[in-house]
Structure 1
């Protein structure tokens, strides 16, 4: 992925993570599928995770780690949704 595209992706992911704190009610319906109990708390946890991963992707030194964390996070979220069905 080109450097500028990676930075853009990182900023967008970090902004999405920050949005979890600004408007958690927007993320609750989506999060409820994977986290039916204590959903609001999970919205904040996921927001913090997305913010951290996004910032890792933005930084050139931590970009590879950030993308690895993004892949692991995506797999974990997918497993949570699958387990809830």
Structure 2
């Protein structure tokens, strides 16, 4: 279970990085969120921080993993829709 804890911490730190240094994430985010890109970088950062923290803690891990599944599925749909245009 240490692997899931570490994975959660990495995801949380990545989310925090969105908030502290958003510029590199804007390049990645813009194709999926061409409007209000900066806002979406922050929203995604908060989401990743929260999900990562939930995954890192054994008591909230299941809900964190469920949330991560929904989040990744949603991002994949956004990506598919963006590149289909």
Q: Same fold (TM over 0.5)?
A: yes
> Aligned to 2:57, which of 48, 56, 59?
59
TM-score by length of 2: 0.95
Q: What is the deviation of 1:33?
A: 1.3
Deviation readout 1:24-62 (Å, 9 max, x if unpaired): 001001101110000000000000000000000011111
Gapped runs of 5+ residues in structure 1? none
Gapped runs of 5+ residues in structure 2? none
Q: Which runs of 4+ in 1 moved over 4 A?
A: none
> Aligned to 1:69, which of 67, 70, 73?
67
- The number of residue pairs the alignment matches comes to 83
Which residues of 2 match residues 1-85 of structure 1 at below 5 A? 3-85=1-83
Q: Helix, strand or coil for the counterpart of 1:18?
A: helix
Aligned-pair Cα RMSD in Å: 0.5
What is the rounded CA distance, in whole Å, between the counterparts of 1:33 and 1:80 in structure 2? 9
What is the rounded CA distance, in whole Å, between the counterparts of 2:64 and 2:72 in structure 1? 12
TM-score by length of 1: 0.95
